[in-house]
Structure 1
Amino acid sequence: MAGSKEIVGVAAAVALALSGASCTSKERSNASRRGVPATTASGYLAADQLPDVISAVPPPPAAGSPEMARDEAAREAALKYRGTDRYDQAISDASRSLPVILHGFSCALGTDIDKQSTPALFTVLNKTFIDVRRSISPAKNRYKRPRPFAVHNGASCLPSDDAMLRIEGSYPGGQSATGWAFGHILATLNPARSTALLQRGDDFGQNRVICDGQWQSDIDAGREIGKLILARLQADPQFQADLRDAQVEVSKGLASGRNPPKQCPSAATSRR
């Protein structure tokens, strides 16, 4: 987990007034050759601003390698969580619904995150989520790494998704990239709960291993991509403006008594 320097770096970026970069036809063409869609798709980053994930992280571990042995060992350790509260949390975190995802982070933040209560914050996290998915998609499509439950002829913690997951590549981990970015963004908005928020971001990604949906190396690579995406967002003026508005919303929410949000497990609001 990253330390306070990254938190300070994001907070400092909020105050900067940097000019945006346009996407030229040549840049769109270059991005397209990398397999990145040549549209912002409602994210913050233009196609040419997305990190080249295939160049940024190594390929997934090869069969029989020490790294693959580490992945198998991590899987065996994670299987022990079945039937525990952590496994229940992993099932919830397996949802691809952004409102469900954000509820878990709202518990760590100490106030609600939703389209009604915090529209600017919802926008920040939704657009970040889109940028993560767009960045990672080319690598998933290239490597098409089978997921652990498929390799071992089992099921993930959310079997209704298994048919889709068998088609979608496991590497690198989009959930761990999302968790890393969300945790660090939210930590700048409520520094008093930064430890809990960073832990929530890490847990959100790690729960994919507990679900038997991804390998540990998928999660590790995803976190590195989360760092790359957040670094680029820091230079985006619209991200900065939305984050300033989100800070106002969070401060109001914390002052209003909407904390913690409803139906939060005690572990989610007090962990670490």
Structure 2
Amino acid sequence: MNYVSYRGQHGFWAALIYASLSAGCAQDPAVRQPDAVAELRSASVVGYLPFQTLPDSRALVPPPPADGSEAFALDMDYSRRSVVLCDSPAWRLAVSDAYLMFPHAAGTFSCALNAPITEADTPHLYLLLRKTLIDAGLSTYAAKNYYRRGRPFASNKEPICTPAEQGRLEENGSYPSAHGAIGMTWALILAELSPGQTEEILARGRAFGLSRIVCNVHWYSDAIQGRNMASATVAKLHANPAFLADFKAAKAELDAVHRRGLKPQRACKSEAAAVAL
């Protein structure tokens, strides 16, 4: 499978992210925004897992909650409580979390790790995150394409945090959440790489999936089943020799970065406040 890569200058992406964060809930849909799933279509990087060996989400996740069920009532409750977070720190973090392109996405767990993740400092880890993004994201599509679940914004008519993507999201099934799968896949891998920060890493992985609820583009059950697909993806990865080789190299890189005392390149206090929400 072929994908399209976003490898523009870091400053270009930073400017786009800043514009989205500054605009808050009343963003102009005409404002150019990077495609949140562009990295899934990268021509230069493919995942570790051949397409036919990906976890089968159609077999692994149950049907989405039915209207009138207790589970759907919980989905609705999370949705109602999340839309009021518009323009909050959690909303601004959700805008940032929406964009999966690199190098921006590489820094998602920098604060949790208390270390930068860059192509220069940790090239094997940087590539590992890009490749596992593809594996985790694609693992959700068998169920997404089968159930074609509608998005929360289609029901509640409230704004989403990346309005330029609304047309694509309307055509893409909500269940399970690819972002949720990606965030927790990264968290599980990074917790193995840096076990001393397991709690912070896993909390950030959960927040990454919940950002999609804050964005008003996923239901709570979408995020939960995304986490389940992350567990299945990581299990498959641990049987893949190429992944294991990169994992070993990435651990050495991360250990070296910690020994050198390099610090994250993100506003970690602000992020911690948003994660707490």
Q: TM-score normalised by the shorter chain: which range applies?
A: 0.7 to 0.9
Q: Which residue matches 1:144?
A: 148
Provide the C-alpha distance between the structure 2 equivalents of 1:78 and 1:86, rounded to a whole number of angstroms: 9
Equivalent residues of 1:196, 1:269 under 8 A apart: no
Equivalent residues of 2:91, 2:214 under 8 A apart: yes
Q: SS state of the match for residue 258, structure 1?
A: coil
* Per-residue Cα deviation, 1:197-254 (whole angstroms, up to 9, x for no partner): 1100000001111111100010011100000000111111111110110011111111
Partner of residue 179 from structure 2, selected from 169, 175, 200: 175
Q: SS state of the match for residue 81, structure 1?
A: coil
Q: SS state of the match for residue 66, structure 2?
A: coil
TM-score, length-scaled by structure 2: 0.79
Please state if 1:79 is matched with 2:114. Answer: no
Please state if 1:106 is matched with 2:113. Answer: no
Please state if 1:49 is matched with 2:56. Answer: no
Please state if 1:218 is matched with 2:218. Answer: no
Q: Mark the runs of 5 or more structure 1 residues left unpaired by the alignment.
A: 1-40
Q: SS state of the match for residue 108, structure 2?
A: helix
Q: CA deviation at 1:265?
A: 2.7
Q: SS state of the match for residue 97, structure 1?
A: coil
Partner of residue 192 from structure 1, selected from 187, 193, 196: 196
Q: Which residue matches 1:134?
A: 138
Q: CA deviation at 1:267?
A: 4.8
Please state if 1:263 is matched with 2:260. Answer: no
Q: SS state of the match for residue 119, structure 2?
A: coil
Provide the C-alpha distance between the structure 2 equivalents of 1:46 and 1:90, rounded to a whole number of angstroms: 30
Q: Which residue matches 1:251?
A: 255
Please state if 1:205 is matched with 2:209. Answer: yes
Q: Mark the runs of 5 or more structure 2 residues left unpaired by the alignment.
A: 1-44
What percentage of residue pairs aligned between the two structures are identical? 35
Aligned residues: 231
TM-score, length-scaled by structure 1: 0.80
Q: Which residue matches 1:27?
A: none
Largest Rg, 1 or 2: 1
Partner of residue 70 from structure 1, selected from 49, 69, 74: 74
* Per-residue Cα deviation, 1:89-145 (whole angstroms, up to 9, x for no partner): 111111131422221211211111122221110121111111112221222111111
Q: Residue type matched to 1:215 in 2?
A: W
Q: CA deviation at 1:269?
A: 6.3
Provide the C-alpha distance between the structure 1 equivalents of 2:57 and 2:142, rounded to a whole number of angstroms: 8
Does the C-alpha gap of structure 1 residues 43 and 267 become closer, same or farther in structure 2, counting only changes over 3 Å? same
Provide the C-alpha distance between the structure 1 equivalents of 2:149 and 2:193, rounded to a whole number of angstroms: 36
Provide the C-alpha distance between the structure 2 equivalents of 1:118 and 1:220, rounded to a whole number of angstroms: 30
Q: SS state of the match for residue 84, structure 2?
A: helix
Provide the C-alpha distance between the structure 1 equivalents of 2:260 and 2:70, rounded to a whole number of angstroms: 52
Provide the C-alpha distance between the structure 2 equivalents of 1:125 and 1:243, rounded to a whole number of angstroms: 10
Query: Which deviates more, 203-212 or 185-194?
Result: 185-194
Provide the C-alpha distance between the structure 1 equivalents of 2:175 and 2:165, rounded to a whole number of angstroms: 17
Does the C-alpha gap of structure 1 residues 169 and 98 become closer, same or farther in structure 2, counting only changes over 3 Å? farther
Question: What is the CA RMSD across the aligned residues, in angstroms?
Answer: 1.8
Equivalent residues in 2 for 1:31-46, closer than 5 Å: 42-46=46-50
Provide the C-alpha distance between the structure 2 equivalents of 1:64 and 1:218, rounded to a whole number of angstroms: 17
Provide the C-alpha distance between the structure 2 equivalents of 1:217 and 1:158, rounded to a whole number of angstroms: 21
Q: SS state of the match for residue 62, structure 2?
A: coil
Q: Residue type matched to 1:216 in 2?
A: Y
Q: Residue type matched to 2:146 in 1?
A: R
Does the C-alpha gap of structure 1 residues 176 and 87 become closer, same or farther in structure 2, counting only changes over 3 Å? same
Q: CA deviation at 1:263?
A: 2.9
Equivalent residues of 2:138, 2:178 under 8 A apart: no
Q: Which residue matches 2:232?
A: 228
